[in-house]
Structure 1
Amino acid sequence: MRFLPHSDTDRQAMLASIGVASVDDLFTDIPADLRVHGLDLPKAASEISVERTLGRLAARNMPASSVPFFVGAGAYKHHVPATVDHLIQRSEFLTSYTPYQPEITQGTLQVLFEFQTQVAHLTGMDVANASMYDGSTATAEAVLMAHRVTKRKKAILSGGLHPHYRAVVESLSDMAGDVVAALPADPTSTEDILATIDKDTSCVVVQSPSVYGHLIDLAPIAAKAHEVGALLVAVVTEIVSLGLVESPGAQGADIVVGEGQSIGNPLTFGGPYVGLFATRQKYVRQMPGRLCGETVDAEGRRGFVLTLSTREQHIRRDKATSNICTNSGLCALAFTIHMTLLGEAGLVRLARINHANAVRLADSLSELPGVSLLNDSFFNEFTLRLPGDAAAIVEGLAAKGVLAGVPVSRLEPGKPELANLLIVASTEVNTDEDRAALVAALREVL
């Protein structure tokens, strides 16, 4: 009982104190078919045995680096220089936490200050915070912020918004009693979002490139939103796209949120990632999370401090802008190091390579019989209509050693009209051989 110090009596006392009869009662909110009822584990095993067992389980995965890989839809495989991993594993970075005491955390604060500067430049906004958990939670927090600014409660979500982001927005909005008007899935980019904006609208949430890869002109949406006193929340899940695409800020966005995983952070089976959040200067006091600022000390020396910390961990709950208890500090550091190594010219070159690779792949795939491309414009990701069930085709391609993309049915289950759609991403890591392997394997499967 070395790692389980509580006795049965202790556990019964705790359960009685909170008013439940058993530990199982604590999980009643989870549907029964999603619960694991008992694990077939031995009482004890040697370290060697455990390592071998876990190794066998891990070997059942198909790692992204082991095969031609074209999966995207919000998480992208990019090359991360070895320098990034080397630096973030230095003990002073790897073990640092919230910089409450600026006199001993100047390094951490300066990194976060540089991170904020990079995100503000990328997004075309005045100010950025010191990161969020990930892109989806940043999006939900942007909606809540828009409600505070406009004193309204209705958010309109584009049909091109990532379904997982939509779900997070809906969850937080439901708890707050807010209204969410989510437009239907928009794989062909034909929705008329302007017609949905009215005087009750707090914000319009638009992703560009959309989850289906479409590049969206944000300017007319921003103009219509501002006409009725609403805000435009722009979402970017592929931050590398801003190396080529005009920034959301330049297109009129009021709040820009996104996922920074593509810079400095590997896929890692889905996390941890780094959320980006930027806005106009006039809204800075409604921004969630925390903000690092530059100042001078009593002797006139340059220094950094937490300038705004309007979260529950720092101030009273009723005055807080969010309940976020931390930020993705190490992931933000990785982002900052990688972006510093790239520089502006490097980011533009990286973006051009991504776009060129995707164009070549889209051209080749759309020539296959029965395959059609749904995008008129895209960055490094696009949607195909296949002559069959996309999920089944992806499984067939995986059996041939190619991870072809994300079936839309995985993101939008229960919608048979989307079952033959496949989202494909191609970044700088895909070689000519990788693309040829996908084309050949898809031809065989079809």
Structure 2
Amino acid sequence: MRYLPLTPSDRQAMLGVIGAKSIDDLFVDVPAQARLDGPIQGLPNHASEMAVERHFSELARKNMTASHNPFFLGAGAYKHHVPASVDHIIQRGEFLTAYTPYQPEIAQGTLQMLFEFQTQVARLFGCDVANASMYDGSTACWEAIGMAGRITKRTKALLSSGLHPHYVSVAKTMAQYTGDRLDTALPELSAQTDSARLLDVIDDDTSCVVVQYPDILGRIEDMSAIAAKAHAHGALLIAVVTEPVALGAIKAPGEMGADIVVGEGQSLGVGLQFGGPYVGLFACKEKFVRQMPGRLCGETVDADGKRGFVLTLSTREQHIRREKATSNICTNSGLCALAFSIHLTLLGEKGLRELASLNHALAVQAADRLSQIPGVELVNDSFFNEFTLHLPKEARPVVRALADRKILGGVSLGRLYPGADSLSNGLLVAVTETATSADVETFAAALQEILT
């Protein structure tokens, strides 16, 4: 239902049960400066449904959409072409209406789809087993850190400076309730990652090392040495992939020794959608499967020997004994996982490799063109479809000036790392198959004009 009415007495009774005096008590953890202290200015207290829809439609028309402008944003969410057949198939009734498949005899379609999804993710990541998905990449990252702590019985996690700052923020939020200690650092605007720092600080107290691949600046580095050092000290390597299309061109993290690989699956089958819903990916080595959060679908046979699918593993106690649960994730992003699986199936291995090759070629073209602008320097020695530029001035106002020209020209590092002066001139640029040569030239011409 779109609207659930409650009377004042209903609300008061509910508050009484949970021991709250007022609705405001439910929001005490939200900083005061982020809360409204009254009604939203400019909106009437009452309006008809039709009037409200008309008003919000007018507001929506002011958005600068990704579909109608040169678009070079990335930083964990990427604009790729999603075939029309993906949307057609996910809206079939047997998929769209399915919920948690506790009764396998009436949820075979959903269970088979999740089984196929798990197989695709495991192969993509180079791992033995994958779960039926998580909420998104950032929460999957934290769940991996928590899982490493349960396996190693340790609480110190080393986070690469190249890990997305939003993922770091989610991990910090959760760690304050679990006692985990997170060793973090700011990235440097250089072609080198902080692998040397990580190798120096891995010790016998380390539960895991978390490395993004490609990292937040688009840099790509072999993780084998970090994996070897971590394993020598009884720690795990967690790899984070925010752009799964990259794995059509670069080595899978599992092949470099990663014990747990997590990531964001939005790039395949799922639109940008103003930030969500997205789909978290989670895979690991088979020996750790019992500590993996979420649920796992498996293949079996029925009494007649016919192939069938069942819910094989889930985070057992979360349904009945929550204090014993290994994870607070008790469901999955089923519809987005389905879209991911359909898109990847339509591509196939050959199509994924071709898509990855196209992305990289267009990114190289854009990096070459943009770095020809006086004062603009390309930071990366290696990248897939995303790279970092060092501008001769602060990047945030440049991004705004580009937006005024109807160009969504990348993400300023000053926005991702507010207050970090050393990163303020950094501009993160993503180029996918949806960008044309004309888009690149429009972007380059506007950037040169703004910087002159």
**TM-score surpassing 0.5?**
yes
1:80 paired to 2:82: yes
- Assess if the C-alpha contact under 8 Å between 1:381 and 1:426 holds in 2: yes
Q: Give the alignment partner of residue 227 of structure 1, picking from 229, 232, 252.
A: 232
**Which shifted more, 185-194 or 79-88?**
185-194
Match of 1:45 in 2: 47
The 5-angstrom pairing of residues 244-259 of structure 1 reads 244-259=249-264
Match of 1:136 in 2: 138
Give the superposition deviation at 1:33: 1.5
| 1:242 to 1:4, Cα distance in 2 relative to 1, 3 A | closer
| 1:288 to 1:13, Cα distance in 2 relative to 1, 3 A | closer
- Assess if the C-alpha contact under 8 Å between 2:147 and 2:292 holds in 1: yes
Give the superposition deviation at 1:315: 5.0
Give the superposition deviation at 1:217: 1.1
- Assess if the C-alpha contact under 8 Å between 1:290 and 1:311 holds in 2: no
- Assess if the C-alpha contact under 8 Å between 1:154 and 1:178 holds in 2: yes
- The DSSP-based 3-state class of the residue aligned with 1:140 is helix
Root-mean-square deviation (CA, aligned residues, Å) is 1.5
Q: Give a deviation string over 1:288-309, Cα, whole Å, max 9, x none.
A: 1000000011111110001101
Distance 1:116 1:290 in 2: 10
1:31 paired to 2:13: no
Give the superposition deviation at 1:256: 0.4
Give the superposition deviation at 1:313: 4.1
1:243 paired to 2:244: no
Give the superposition deviation at 1:320: 2.5
Distance 1:166 1:256 in 2: 16
Match of 2:207 in 1: 202
| 1:97 to 1:14, Cα distance in 2 relative to 1, 3 A | closer
Distance 2:434 2:105 in 1: 42
Which AA in structure 1 matches 2:27? Answer: F
The 5-angstrom pairing of residues 25-424 of structure 1 reads 25-36=25-36, 37-40=38-41, 41-188=43-190, 189-191=192-194, 192=196, 193-314=198-319, 316-424=321-429
Which aligned segments of 4 or more residues in structure 1 are displaced greater than 6 angstroms? none
Distance 1:152 1:173 in 2: 13
**Which shifted more, 395-404 or 407-416?**
407-416
Distance 1:401 1:272 in 2: 26
- Assess if the C-alpha contact under 8 Å between 2:118 and 2:132 holds in 1: yes
- Assess if the C-alpha contact under 8 Å between 2:162 and 2:193 holds in 1: no
Distance 1:113 1:336 in 2: 10
Q: Give a deviation string over 1:130-155, Cα, whole Å, max 9, x none.
A: 00001111110000111111111110
Give the TM-score, by structure 2 length: 0.95
**Which shifted more, 176-185 or 40-49?**
40-49
Give the superposition deviation at 1:43: 3.9
Distance 1:241 1:26 in 2: 42
Q: Give a deviation string over 1:230-288, Cα, whole Å, max 9, x none.
A: 00000000000000100001111000001111000010000111101000011111111
Give the superposition deviation at 1:171: 1.5
Q: Give a deviation string over 1:300-328, Cα, whole Å, max 9, x none.
A: 11100011012554453244221112100
Which AA in structure 2 matches 1:251? Answer: M
- The DSSP-based 3-state class of the residue aligned with 1:184 is coil
Which AA in structure 2 matches 1:49? Answer: A
Distance 2:381 2:422 in 1: 20
- The DSSP-based 3-state class of the residue aligned with 2:256 is coil
- The DSSP-based 3-state class of the residue aligned with 2:141 is helix
Q: Give a deviation string over 1:94-147, Cα, whole Å, max 9, x none.
A: 111110000010000000000000001100000000000011111100001111
- Assess if the C-alpha contact under 8 Å between 2:264 and 2:281 holds in 1: yes
Which AA in structure 2 matches 1:317? Answer: R
- Assess if the C-alpha contact under 8 Å between 2:249 and 2:356 holds in 1: yes
Give the superposition deviation at 1:25: 3.1
| 1:9 to 1:328, Cα distance in 2 relative to 1, 3 A | closer
- The DSSP-based 3-state class of the residue aligned with 1:61 is coil
- The DSSP-based 3-state class of the residue aligned with 1:250 is helix
**Percent same amino acid among aligned pairs?**
64
Distance 2:317 2:387 in 1: 40
- Assess if the C-alpha contact under 8 Å between 1:311 and 1:324 holds in 2: no
Give the superposition deviation at 1:378: 0.3
Distance 1:350 1:7 in 2: 54
- The DSSP-based 3-state class of the residue aligned with 2:389 is strand
Distance 2:18 2:250 in 1: 54
- Assess if the C-alpha contact under 8 Å between 2:193 and 2:219 holds in 1: no
Distance 1:187 1:420 in 2: 9
- Assess if the C-alpha contact under 8 Å between 2:315 and 2:330 holds in 1: no
Give the TM-score, by structure 1 length: 0.97
Which AA in structure 1 matches 2:301? Answer: V
- Assess if the C-alpha contact under 8 Å between 2:295 and 2:330 holds in 1: no
Distance 1:361 1:333 in 2: 33
Between the two proteins, the alignment pairs up a number of residues equal to: 445
Give the superposition deviation at 1:14: 4.1
- The DSSP-based 3-state class of the residue aligned with 2:255 is coil
Distance 2:448 2:234 in 1: 51
- Assess if the C-alpha contact under 8 Å between 1:264 and 1:335 holds in 2: yes
Distance 1:131 1:122 in 2: 14
